[in-house]
Amino acid sequence: MITVIVDDLAFLAVDAVVRPADESLAPLTSEGSRLDRLAGDRFAAQRRVTSPLQAGAAVVTGGGDLTAPYVLHAVIRDRQTPVDRATVRRALVSAWQRAGDWGLRRLAAPLVGTGPGGLSEEEAARLMAETFPREQGEDGMALAIVVEKEAIRDLVAAIVGRTA
Please check the confidence at residue 45 and state whether its pLDDT lies above 90: no
22 CB-near residues (< 8 Å, 6+ apart): 28, 75, 76, 77, 78
**pLDDT number for residue 139:** 66
CATH superfamily for 2-163 is Leucine Aminopeptidase, subunit E, domain 1 (3.40.220.10)
Lowest mean pLDDT among 3-12, 27-36, 70-79: 27-36
* pTM more than 0.75: yes
**pLDDT number for residue 136:** 55
**pLDDT number for residue 117:** 67
**135 band by pLDDT with thresholds 50, 70 and 90:** low
**pLDDT number for residue 52:** 87
**pLDDT number for residue 137:** 53
Q: What is the mean pLDDT of residues 76-102?
A: 91
**pLDDT number for residue 109:** 96
Please check the confidence at residue 164 and state whether its pLDDT lies above 90: no
Q: What is the mean pLDDT of residues 11-28?
A: 93
Residue pLDDT, tens place only, 50-70: 788 899 999 999 999 999 999
